[in-house]
Amino acid sequence: MTTGIRFCRIFGFEVRIDLSWFVVFLLVLWTFAQSEFPRRVPGLEPVEYVIMAWAGAVLFFGSVFLHEVAHSAVARARGIPVDGITLFVFGGLARIRANAETPRDEFLITIVGPFSSAVLGLFFLGLAQLGRELGATPALTGVADYLALLNFILAVFNLIPGFPLDGGRLFRSAVWHFSKDIRRATRWAAYSGRGFGLLMVGVGILNLFGGYLVSGMWLVFIGWFLIQAAESGYRQLVLRRILEGVQVREAMTRSPETVRPGLTLRDVVDDYFLKRRYNAFPVEDGDGKTLGVITLSQVKGVEREKWPTTTVAATMMPVSDAVTVRAEDSLAEVLSKLESVGVGRALVMDHDHLEGVITRADIAGWLDRYQQLH
Ligand SMILES: [Zn+2]
C-alpha cells in the first residue's frame, strides 16, 4: 500500500499519512476537548481542555505509531524488509513486505505490538502517579491517566483473536506451529476474525436497541470492518502464498521487442506504439546492451511538435532507474517491488542481458489462468 502523503523518516522507516487519518485526528481532537477531558477532569477552563486535547491526541497517535514501530523493528531484525509505516483511519499499519517464514517469527513480530502498548500504558500510569505526588496540575495528570487507559485498551483490543488484528496473527502462528500448514492456519484465523466481527455487530445492534446509540454504532462499525478485513486479508495471503511459489520466468514476456536509442519519438510512436500491443519497450543499443525503457506515458509527456526532433535516448528511463528483477525471483517479490515503486513493469535481467519484461498485467493474467485451472 503506497497511498498517503510521505510525512517523514523515523528510525529508518518511511512514514506515510493517509488522508483518512486527518479526519480521524480531528474527530479524536474534538471528542477529547468536548467530552472526554471535561468529563474526566471537571472544573477547568475551556482553553485548558483544548490544550489537553491537543497533547492527548498527539501522544495517542504517537503511541499508535510506536506500536507499529515495534512490529516493524522486529520484522526487520528477523530479515523481512519493511517499506515503512502508514497512519490511516484505523490507526497504524506497518508495511511489511513479506510473510514471516516461520511461526516463531510471526509470533515475535506480532507480540511486540500489544506488548509495547502495555508498556506505554504503564509508563503513562507511572507518569500520572508521579505528577500527583509532585503536585502537578490536574490537567497534566488527567492527560497521562487517559493515555494510560487508551494504551491498555489498544493492547487488549489488538489481542482479540481475529485476523488481521494482532491477536488473530498470534492465533494463526499457534495453529501454524502445531499444524505445520500456514494455509489452514490462515483460514482458521480468518474464520475467527469473521466470528469476532459478527459478535461485535450483534452486541452493537443490541446496544442500539438498548438506547446506547454511540457505543452501538461504534461496535457495528468496527465489527463490520473486522469482517471485511478478515476476508480480504485471507484472500491476499492466499494469493501471496501462490505467487511466492512461482518464478518470474513462468509469467514474463520473453525476448521482448526492443527499440534503438537514436530513434525519434515520432518514429517510435508510428512504428512501435501504434503497431504493437505494448505500452513500453526496452531500449537496446546495437551491441544488445540494455540502456533503459521507454513508455507511452513518457512520450506523452513531451510536446507533440517536438516528437520529430526528440530521441528515445533523451526521453527514456535509464536502466539504473528502472525496476529490474531476475528470472528466478518469485512473482510475489516482483509484485511488492512494483507496488512500492508505483510502476507497472520490471525488466528481467541476467547481469547486463535483457531476458524479458514482466508487467502487473502479466501477473494478473497468470493468476487468472491459475485460478481457472484449480
Ligand atoms: Zn499491532
74-105 per-position pLDDT tens digit: 988 888 878 788 877 666 777 776 667 788 99
Rounded distance between C-alpha atoms, residue 40 and residue 195, angstroms: 34
For the beta carbon of residue 20, count every other beta carbon within 10 angstroms: 14
Q: Which residue has the cell 504517537?
A: 62
Annotation marks residue 339 as catalytic: no
114-140 per-position pLDDT tens digit: 999 999 999 999 999 999 999 888 889
Which of the residues 36, 45, 48, 68 is marked catalytic? 68
Q: Which residues pair with 325 in a beta bridge?
A: 348
Q: How sure is the predictor about 367, in pLDDT bands with cuts at 50, 70 and 90?
A: confident
Residues 6+ apart with CB under 8 A from 26: none
Amino acid 300 reads K
Q: Please state the rounded mean pLDDT for residues 298-319.
A: 90
| 223-262 b/e (C-beta count within 10 Å ≥ 16 → b) | beebbebbeebbeebebbebbeebebeebbeeebebbebe
Distance between Cα 115 and ligand 1 center (Å): 9
For helices 331-341 and 213-244, give the axis angle rounded to 10 degrees. Answer: 130
Q: How sure is the predictor about 1, in pLDDT bands with cuts at 50, 70 and 90?
A: very low
Cell of 255: 525476448
20-29 per-position pLDDT tens digit: 788 888 888 9
Distance between Cα 165 and ligand 1 center (Å): 7
Q: Is 352 annotated as a binding residue?
A: no
pLDDT of residue 37: 92
CA distances (Å), 155 to each of 86, 111, 115, 159, 323, in order?
A: 19, 10, 7, 6, 39
pLDDT of residue 361: 87
Q: Tell me if 55 sits within 8 A of 75, measured CB to CB.
A: no
Q: Tell me if 354 sits within 8 A of 347, measured CB to CB.
A: yes
Rounded distance between C-alpha atoms, residue 142 and residue 62, angstroms: 17
Q: Tell me if 68 sits within 8 A of 93, measured CB to CB.
A: yes
12 burial via Cβ count (<10 Å: 0-12, 13-18, 19+) = exposed
216-228 per-position pLDDT tens digit: 887 888 888 888 8
Please state the domain extents for the chain: 5-244, 248-373
pTM greater than 0.75 (yes/no)? no
Q: Tell me if 185 sits within 8 A of 225, measured CB to CB.
A: no
Distance between Cα 158 and ligand 1 center (Å): 6
Cell of 322: 528502472
Distance between Cα 113 and ligand 1 center (Å): 5
Q: What is the DSSP letter of 247?
A: B
285-303 per-position pLDDT tens digit: 888 888 889 988 889 989 9
Distance between Cα 220 and ligand 1 center (Å): 21
Q: Is 71 annotated as a binding residue?
A: yes
38-70 per-position pLDDT tens digit: 999 898 888 999 999 999 999 999 999 899 889
State the pairing for strand pair 91-96/82-88: antiparallel
Q: Tell me if 330 sits within 8 A of 245, measured CB to CB.
A: yes
- So what's the architecture of 248-373 in CATH? Roll (3.10)
Q: Which residue has the cell 481475529?
A: 162
Distance between Cα 330 and ligand 1 center (Å): 27
- Residue whose C-alpha is closest to residue 115's, from 70, 177, 62, 74: 70
| 311-344 b/e (C-beta count within 10 Å ≥ 16 → b) | ebbebbbebeebbbbbbebbbbbbbbbbebeebe
Distance between Cα 8 and ligand 1 center (Å): 21
pLDDT of residue 17: 83
Residues 6+ apart with CB under 8 A from 198: 223, 227
Q: Is 374 annotated as a binding residue?
A: no
Distance between Cα 105 and ligand 1 center (Å): 14
